[in-house]
């Protein structure tokens, strides 16, 4: 009998390897397809801005690592609550999971406005701190400032999606992730470009260029985050805010959230800070290098979409198997998830190696930027399988509530390997040196995460 439902799996004594693979793939596929849609929309988004010239691309690329820092920090905060929900669902304690949901919503709304205000306060300084050239500072500052306004809604969307995934519902958050990208592209067309006529049909447009891209991104987050919250609160089959429950803070839940979320928060802070430091190193190479670097990162995102899709599924599966006390399934599902992630990311990396010139031709009108971006991206693609190992292992560890040691491992890998190597190689090899440092660091990170996976101590971190 073919089985791809996690509740059925948890109730079976013996589960075949084929059933495990089917479950991982069935839960990963919606997330992977959402990632594919997201990346396709990122390509279109980058192409829209890229059509305005290298300066427009560089003005957004300069602060992209800073926006990742903010978004990554939000993931850490949300995970502190939705990992508990996955484990409680696995243990059959659905009503307790709803109370964790309520506490999580209160926490993220409060923290969302605090983070937004703090980021707004420094928004005028960030592009200068990153070493941006004078001609892109104004646009870069405006883009970052508008992005910061949407932080509370980013948190709401991440929390809502994580909660739905933790209950085993991968399709709804995946559809919403795809929808936010589609909406962003549509709003980009209206906001970035001026009004025009196509085949006699008038097309409205605000002509706001880079500022328009920022407005489109923020409006998309607002609309989809509120939609995600509504669907979670009223339509989810396992948890709902319509049921009676408590909105009071519970010490144990907050402590558990802190144990999971604080390491993840600082992991994202230090990892994304390393991205910021990397951007600052690259910025010394000039506008063309910044644009090529930014677009190469966008192009590479196609390669790691399977890893993040499987990692998201692994968090839900591992959380529920640990909550159910099925440590046999926890161990086997962790390895199946990581092996699949490595294989699929190796495949997508190979495809990208040959397809890179075509991809860059769609992302930029600058032949110089396209040539440099293709060259540096190909340097890094050899690391994709081990990068996949680190992504999927992180999803496994997160589902178990094990976030402190992986966060320390990330910190050491990013700062002591990537940034130190980049400082040595960039003055000698230019942008190619930075991407060589990145490839070596991703291989190192994948290996140390695999070692922790096989040692198995992470399985003792259950929260419930």
42 has pLDDT over 60? no
Helix (H, G, I), strand (E, B) or coil at 4: coil
Specify the pLDDT at position 2: 42
Does some domain include residue 57?
yes
Does some domain include residue 7?
no
Specify the pLDDT at position 394: 94
Does some domain include residue 10?
no
Q: pTM, whole model, 2 decimals?
A: 0.78
Across the chain, how many H-helices and E-strands are there? 17, 2
20 has pLDDT over 60? yes
Does some domain include residue 11?
no
Number of structural domains in the chain: 1
Does some domain include residue 292?
yes
Q: Which domain holds residue 353?
A: 16-460
Q: Provide mean pLDDT across the span 109-124.
A: 90
Q: Residue 338 contacts by C-beta under 8 Å, 6 or more apart in sequence? A: 314, 388, 389, 392, 393, 396, 450, 453
CA 49 to chain centroid: 21
Does some domain include residue 34?
yes
Query: Do residues 281 and 429 touch, judged by C-beta distance below 8 A?
Result: no
415 has pLDDT over 90? yes
User: Predicted confidence band at 46 (pLDDT cuts at 50, 70, 90)?
Assistant: low
Does some domain include residue 1?
no
Does some domain include residue 2?
no
Residue count (the chain): 464
Query: Do residues 152 and 11 touch, judged by C-beta distance below 8 A?
Result: no
User: Predicted confidence band at 53 (pLDDT cuts at 50, 70, 90)?
Assistant: confident
205-247 pLDDT tens trace: 787 888 888 899 899 989 999 999 999 988 888 888 888 888 8
As to burial, measured by CB atoms within 10 angstroms (0-12 exposed, 13-18 middle, 19+ buried), residue 17 is exposed
Number of CB atoms found within 10 A of residue 27's CB: 26
1 has pLDDT over 70? no
């Amino acid at each position: 009998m073919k089985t791809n439902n996690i509740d059925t799996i948890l109730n079976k004594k013996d589960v075949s390897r084929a059933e495990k693979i089917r479950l991982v793939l069935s839960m990963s596929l919606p997330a992977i397809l959402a990632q594919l849609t997201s990346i396709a929309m990122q390509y279109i988004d980058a192409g829209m801005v890229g059509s305005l010239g290298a300066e427009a691309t560089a003005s957004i690329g300069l602060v992209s690592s800073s926006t990742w820092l903010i978004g990554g920090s939000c993931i850490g905060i949300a995970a502190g609550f939705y990992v508990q929900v996955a484990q409680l669902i696995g243990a059959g304690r659905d009503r307790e999971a709803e109370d964790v949901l309520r506490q999580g919503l209160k926490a993220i709304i409060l923290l969302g406005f605090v983070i937004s205000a703090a980021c707004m306060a420094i928004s005028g300084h960030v592009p200068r701190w990153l070493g941006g050239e004078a001609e892109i500072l104004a646009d870069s500052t405006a883009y970052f400032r508008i992005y910061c306004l949407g932080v509370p809604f980013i948190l709401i969307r991440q929390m809502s999606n994580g909660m739905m995934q933790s209950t085993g519902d991968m399709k709804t958050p995946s559809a919403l992730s795809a929808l936010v990208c589609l909406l962003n592209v549509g709003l980009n067309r209206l906001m970035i470009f001026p009004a025009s006529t196509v085949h006699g049909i008038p097309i409205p447009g605000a002509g706001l260029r880079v500022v328009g891209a920022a407005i489109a991104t923020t409006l998309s987050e607002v609309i989809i985050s509120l939609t995600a919250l509504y669907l979670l609160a009223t339509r989810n089959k396992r948890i709902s805010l319509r049921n009676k429950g408590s909105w009071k803070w519970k010490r144990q839940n907050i402590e558990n959230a802190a144990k999971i979320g604080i390491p993840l928060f600082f992991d994202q802070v230090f990892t994304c800070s390393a991205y910021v430091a990397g951007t600052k190193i690259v910025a010394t190479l000039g506008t063309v290098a910044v644009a090529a670097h930014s677009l190469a990162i966008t192009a590479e995102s196609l390669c790691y979409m399977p890893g993040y899709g499987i990692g998201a599924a692994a968090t839900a599966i591992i959380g529920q198997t640990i909550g159910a006390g099925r440590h046999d399934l926890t161990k086997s599902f962790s390895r199946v998830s990581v092996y699949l992630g490595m294989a699929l990311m190796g495949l997508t990396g190979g495809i990208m190696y040959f397809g890179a010139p075509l991809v860059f031709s769609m992302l930029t009108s600058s032949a110089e930027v396209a040539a440099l971006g293709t060259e540096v991206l190909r340097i890094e693609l050899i690391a994709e399988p081990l990068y996949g190992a680190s992504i999927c292992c992180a999803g496994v560890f997160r589902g178990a509530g094990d976030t402190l040691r992986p966060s320390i491992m990330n910190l050491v890998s990013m700062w002591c390997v990537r940034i130190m190597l980049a400082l040595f190689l960039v003055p000698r090899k230019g942008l190619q040196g930075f991407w060589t440092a990145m490839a070596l660091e991703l291989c190192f990170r994948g290996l140390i995460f695999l070692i922790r996976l096989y040692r198995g101590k992470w399985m003792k971190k259950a929260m419930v």
